[in-house]
């Protein structure tokens, strides 16, 4: 039930909260019949889940006209440029007439779809609601996966979590019904697995309010993780802006065998690139090895591209995509994509041009790839399995570990689980039981039901494993450990997850999370030893006979097809109902409507004070912790109490501590509030890759709410830098990294040139005058990446402020025209 112009693929003018949408009563949305199966899934609106291929191929033709017919494009460029609102404007502005687009052009894009997980959807919807629109401009979905705690097992954990978060789920469900958003209830599955099974498709462009949204790239989509404010751009039909990425080509040769898995491809690549190496790049896979990978294996690889800072990752249309689309009730999409992929090069949206140039190329030979283990505390510390035992010894890491956890959005496919099942069956036949706690997380209700039907889950449970709910659980810190490990106690766990920052999984900064494939985690769990190598080592059996695992085997797809699962876990239809009242209790401690932030002053910023100088890694987990804090995602004043509580003070090495000008010690959020309430705005000083990790926009919202105006760092993670701008916080980098040493906590700062930069749409330079506590001054030159639109956000106070102002103008225009007509 979208506006007819949108359904037909025509562009509506880019003013957010546009007059057309305000004055038009929207026609009923049509559900397209399908004969693919009698499954409940086949009743879904396949039309809204099919990329607008005709529109995209026409736009690709226009792109080739603008850039010239001989211009060779990568796959990522084809899909991105085919989603441009105005190709000529985006591709030719400040690019030497299109010759120098990558890293230079500001692409104004019109995504096809938006997906939101429950934690980030709260703030995204609160922002969308302020715009006054009756429905979203593009199809959207909400997935309740982040707020389910893992502890005893799905049968106990899911009802408990639903009861504890009823207020939030009621809000999300009511807003979804009112605005025509598909709502996947708690227990339906993890957003990324559900998107892969239902929404991702070759050539699609999607925004998701989670950093691992690129998981959908395994099915040939451009899927980009963003903050809620960015998602609102797409929801209100405003162009979404992205700096044209550079393209990193990863050439895959050979074929995986034995213990090597798709997870090892990305674990190896993370070791090569580091957590900053993919920043500003799309990672595009190609080569003869592509067609040897399963669709879900490709998704695993794309999922963890977020760990190297990449904008997104994707694979070209592959023969492996067809059976997966057919198995997930989307045969019509497979047919349409196959037709485009077989078209002449000029019209083929789903493959790179033969002579396309990559900015860099890395080659990985799948035939010789060895299993890897990454960690602890960072996903890029990559060690081949053959060397891991000696590295454990060298670093004095724990020799034993307490838990092995498999599943998560990264590795919860049927293939992953059946390969792990094969190892469990081998060990059980030898009389072995796991020596570490063993937890299994199915990625979706479809996966869970299929594994249940095929007796995979009973195999895990019989061996002593605990099957958790179809949700994120321990991967994002929703884990109540019951093994007696106390906070601060050094210990190890092995997981098939994607991220392993300090304290992320259990709130204990001393827990070492080592990332590996589900197969390797499963085998290690039976040994209980961090030095065990299942390729070479044996485990003693009760009979005394040494046992060695054979390489795991599994199935890409279930031979009997996917089971349907519980019908109550299917999504609500995306049909808006204006009669629905969105449920927000005015006295709630979990949800609060947003007040607008103040606009940028009509002068330079002066009297800013350095709140804290952060030392070392500062992730979005550091800035806005997850775990038990997730319950406050919809209540900015409450969640702001966790701001930077795990940041390391560069002056004292203390965690979460700050000092006022009188020398008194305080928690960082406490001092921030004190200064804000006294009318003193502030800035944070930090090192490299500030804000790495998730798409968590609260890491930008919270500092802004507490009075933050500037973050000065050596470098930023892409998503977080954008989120800061959306909330009116100015991200600046040191022109000379060594100047980090010149500025300290409680120094006062005045900007020079920033107001001119903002008023000129990003032109010009910014400097800072730093007044030390002894009255002396130093100058620091800074760099910025503010675009024209981003300057407008900052001047208005936030992107939401700008949207609200435009919406008000549009409503006033409607009123004036109505009065003139009368």
Compute φ and ψ for 559, nearest 5 degrees: -65, -30
Q: Is 694 a catalytic residue?
A: yes
Pick the closest to residue 176 from 118, 216, 130, 224 (CA basis). 118
β-bridge pairing 777-783 and 766-771: antiparallel
Token pair, residue 771, equals 């007044």
Token pair, residue 246, equals 């550079």
Q: Is 696 a catalytic residue?
A: yes
Catalytic position from the list 90, 141, 332, 694? 694
Residue 181: Cβ within 10 Å count: 29
Residue indicated by tokens 């002894």 = 774
Q: Is 143 a catalytic residue?
A: no
Q: Is 759 a catalytic residue?
A: no
Q: Are 306 and 410 in contact (CB under 8 A)?
A: no
Give residues with Cβ within 8 angstroms of 86, minimum separation 6.
108
Q: Is 798 a catalytic residue?
A: no
CA atoms of 201 and 51, how far apart (whole Å): 7
Residue 587: Cβ within 10 Å count: 4
Q: Which DSSP symbol is given to 596?
A: P
For residue 372, list its beta bridge partners: 384
CA atoms of 716 and 735, how far apart (whole Å): 13
Token pair, residue 637, equals 């004043």
For residue 393, list its beta bridge partners: none
CA atoms of 648 and 651, how far apart (whole Å): 9
Taking CA atoms, 465 is separated from 412, 433, 561, in Å, by 15, 10, 25
Residue indicated by tokens 């099957």 = 467
Catalytic position from the list 118, 157, 210, 264? 210
List, as one string, the DSSP characters of 1-29: ---HHHHTTPPPPS-TT-HHHHHPPPPPP
Residue 98: Cβ within 10 Å count: 18
Pick the closest to residue 723 from 56, 207, 253, 193 (CA basis). 207
- Length of the chain in terms of residues written: 822
Q: Are 345 and 63 in contact (CB under 8 A)?
A: no
Give residues with Cβ within 8 angstroms of 1, minimum separation 6.
26, 27, 28, 29, 135, 180, 574, 575, 576
Asked if the bond preceding 756 is cis, omega within 30° of 0, the reply is no
Q: Strands, DSSP E only, in 12-112? A: 106-109
Catalytic position from the list 41, 83, 499, 718? 499
Handedness of CA 510, 516, 521, 523 (dihedral sign): negative
Helix (H, G, I), strand (E, B) or coil at 246: strand
Catalytic position from the list 2, 329, 504, 696? 696
List, as one string, the DSSP characters of 513-579: EEE--HHHHHHHHHHTBTT--TTT--EE-TTS-EE-PPPP---SS-TT------GGGSPPPS---TT
State the Cα torsion 406-412-416-419 to the nearest 10°.
Answer: 60
Residue 363: Cβ within 10 Å count: 11
Catalytic position from the list 145, 157, 422, 789? 145
Q: Are 190 and 447 in contact (CB under 8 A)?
A: no
CA atoms of 97 and 88, how far apart (whole Å): 10
Catalytically active residues are: 145-146, 210, 499, 694, 696
């Amino acid at each position: 039930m979208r506006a007819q112009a949108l359904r037909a693929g025509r562009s509506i003018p880019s003013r957010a909260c546009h007059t057309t949408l305000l004055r038009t009563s929207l026609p009923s949305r049509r559900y397209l019949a399908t004969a693919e199966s009698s499954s409940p899934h086949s009743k879904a609106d396949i039309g809204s889940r099919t990329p607008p291929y005709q529109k995209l191929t026409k736009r690709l033709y226009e792109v080739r006209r603008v850039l010239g017919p001989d211009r060779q494009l990568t796959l990522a460029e084809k899909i991105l440029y085919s989603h441009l609102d105005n190709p000529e404007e985006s591709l030719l502005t400040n690019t030497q007439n299109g010759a120098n687009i990558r890293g230079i052009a500001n692409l104004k894009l019109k995504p096809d779809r938006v997906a939101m997980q429950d934690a980030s959807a709260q703030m995204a919807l609160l922002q969308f609601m302020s715009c006054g629109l009756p429905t979203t401009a593009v199809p959207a979905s909400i997935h309740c996966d982040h707020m389910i705690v893992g502890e005893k097992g799905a049968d106990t954990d899911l009802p408990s979590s639903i009861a504890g978060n009823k207020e939030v789920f009621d809000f999300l469900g009511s807003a979804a019904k009112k605005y025509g958003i598909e709502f996947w209830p708690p227990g339906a599955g993890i957003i990324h697995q559900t998107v892969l099974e239902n929404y991702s498709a070759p050539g699609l462009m999607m925004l998701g309010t989670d950093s691992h949204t690129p998981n959908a790239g395994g099915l040939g989509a451009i899927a980009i993780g963003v903050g809620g404010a960015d998602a609102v751009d797409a929801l209100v039909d405003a162009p979404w802006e992205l700096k044209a990425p550079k393209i990193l080509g990863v050439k895959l040769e050979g074929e995986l065998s034995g213990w090597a898995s798709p997870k090892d491809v990305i674990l190896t690549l993370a070791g090569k690139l580091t957590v900053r190496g993919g920043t500003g790049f799309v990672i595009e896979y190609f080569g003869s090895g592509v067609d040897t990978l399963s669709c879900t294996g490709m998704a695993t690889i794309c999922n963890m591209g977020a760990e190297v800072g990449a904008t997104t990752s994707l694979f070209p249309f592959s023969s492996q995509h067809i059976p997966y689309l057919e198995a997930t009730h989307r045969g019509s999409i497979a047919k349409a994509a196959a037709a485009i992929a077989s078209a002449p090069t000029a019209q083929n949206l789903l493959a790179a041009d033969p002579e396309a140039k990559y900015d860099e190329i890395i080659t990985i030979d799948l035939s010789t790839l060895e299993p890897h283990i990454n960690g602890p505390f960072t996903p890029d510390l990559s060690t081949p399995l053959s060397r891991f035992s000696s590295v454990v010894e060298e670093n004095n890491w724990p020799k034993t570990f307490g838990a092995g956890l498999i599943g998560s959005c990264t590795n919860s496919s049927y293939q992953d689980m059946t390969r792990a099942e094969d190892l469990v069956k081998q060990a059980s036949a030898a009389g072995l039981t796991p020596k570490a706690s063993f937890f299994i997380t199915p990625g979706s209700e479809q996966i869970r039901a299929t594994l249940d039907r095929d007796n995979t889950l009973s195999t895990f449970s019989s061996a002593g494993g605990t099957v958790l709910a179809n949700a994120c659980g321990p991967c994002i810190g929703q884990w109540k450990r019951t093994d007696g490990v106390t906070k601060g106690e050094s210990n190890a766990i092995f997981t098939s997850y994607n991220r392993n920052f300090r304290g992320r999984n259990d709130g204990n900064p001393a827990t070492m999370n080592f990332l590996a494939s589900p197969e390797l985690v499963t085998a290690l769990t039976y040994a209980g030893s961090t030095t065990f190598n299942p390729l070479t080592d044996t485990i003693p059996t009760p009979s005394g006979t040494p046992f060695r695992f054979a390489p795991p085997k599994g199935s890409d797809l279930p031979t009997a097809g996917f089971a349907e699962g519980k019908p109550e876990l299917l999504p609500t239809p995306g049909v808006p109902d204006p009669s629905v009242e969105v449920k927000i209790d005015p006295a709630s401690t979990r949800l609060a409507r947003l007040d607008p932030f103040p606009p940028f002053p009509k002068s330079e910023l002066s009297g800013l004070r350095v709140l804290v100088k952060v030392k070392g890694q500062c992730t979005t987990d550091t800035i806005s912790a997850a775990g038990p804090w997730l319950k406050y995602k919809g209540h900015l004043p409450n969640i702001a109490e966790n701001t930077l509580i795990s940041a390391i003070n560069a002056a004292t090495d203390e965690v979460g501590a700050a000092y006022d000008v009188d020398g008194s010690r305080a928690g960082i959020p406490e001092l921030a509030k004190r200064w804000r309430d006294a009318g003193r705005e502030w800035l944070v000083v930090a090192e490299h890759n500030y804000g790495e990790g998730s798409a968590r926009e609260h890491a930008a919202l919270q500092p802004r709410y507490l009075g933050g105006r500037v973050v000065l760092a050596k470098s930023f993670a892409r998503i977080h830098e954008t989120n800061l701008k959306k909330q009116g916080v100015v991200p600046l980098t040191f022109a000379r990294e060594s100047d980090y040493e010149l500025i300290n906590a409680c120094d006062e700062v005045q900007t020079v040139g920033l107001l001119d930069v903002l008023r000129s749409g990003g032109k010009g330079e910014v400097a800072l005058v730093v007044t030390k506590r002894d009255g002396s001054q130093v100058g620091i030159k800074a760099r910025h990446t503010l675009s024209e639109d981003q300057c407008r956000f900052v001047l208005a106070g936030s992107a939401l402020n700008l949207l609200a102002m435009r919406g008000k103008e549009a409503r006033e225009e409607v009123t004036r025209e109505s009065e003139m007509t009368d």
